[in-house]
Amino acid sequence: MASNHGRYPFSAIVDREDYSWPEGKRLACYIALNVEAFEFGDMPGGDFTSQPHPPYHRGFAWRDYGNRVGIWRLLDLFDELALPIAVLVNGAVYDQCPRVLEPFRARGDEMVGHGRTNSERQGDLSEAEERVLIEEATATINRHEGNPPAGWLGPWISQSRVTPDLLKEAGYTYLLDWHFDDQPMWFDTRAGPLLAIPYPTMEVNDSTAIIYRRASDEDFTRMIIDNFEEMLEQSASQPLVTMISLHTFIVGQPLRLRALRRALTHIAQHREAVWFTHPARIAEHSASLPKGTIPGDVR
């Protein structure tokens, strides 16, 4: 018999109860901006060229560009289109470059927990070490923002077998690490239910598409538009969540920013039909629905 994780039950989307988002809208959309910090000398991740070697200065410098330059160009675009942003923030950003978070705080954007730095994977840690990682990242955001984050995406989207349990025990209401559906789903933990909000781990994610799949900038623009248009059409039958994952050092580059502008301008024209929001608001609305509306509800 095949093993299973036991975190959520199987549910075919065509068999579920119907509901709508606020104002009767059928498609919720959020944009996740990864704002990350890295430890110099530790492997920061892949790039487009040959295999890097210590001290990994190319990867570090490329990513540093995102916080020094790229994020400000993206901010102008988000302001121009009046789009809300979910900031997936490493705790170390508050030490390395806190200036980059000021305008997002002023906009009222959501800060989502994203670990301490992106130079570590929490799935490599013991349970005690992982608990400390979550506690430290959470405390940093709470100290600077005045409230703890409601949601979490692990650095490198890394998880151990007990990550959902630790998140629930730390007070989180949702996680983004599991993209197994187009609707929010209740996720079982040893401390009670936790919402899994869809996140584009493998699909409409500039890191996955551009770095690892070698998609062109125009390819990624087409992916955003095609995914959005298809989801908007499908949402006539079911309430859905669509999302876009961006990284400051990737789409903050001028050539990709130009392509991204075309995609976001296109989707922003549908704001009368689409709920542009933050994942925390999606989680709040989902939790407010009658018990049993969302599969896996054992509250």
The per-residue pLDDT for range 206-258, each reduced to its tens digit, is 988 888 888 888 999 999 999 999 999 999 999 999 999 999 999 999 999 99
Kind of pairing, strands 174-175 and 151-152?
Answer: parallel
Domains present along the chain, CATH in parentheses: 22-288 (3.20.20.370)
Q: Which residue has the tokens 């999606």?
A: 282
Q: pLDDT: is 1 or 253 the higher one?
A: 253
Q: Which residues contact 57 (CB under 8 A, 6 or more apart)?
A: 40
d(CA 116, CA 240): 31
pLDDT confidence band for 1 (50 / 70 / 90): very low
pTM for the model: 0.95
Structure tokens at 135: 């506690």
Q: Where are the alpha helices (DSSP H) in the chain?
A: 57-65, 71-81, 93-96, 102-107, 127-145, 163-169, 206, 217-234, 254-268, 279-288
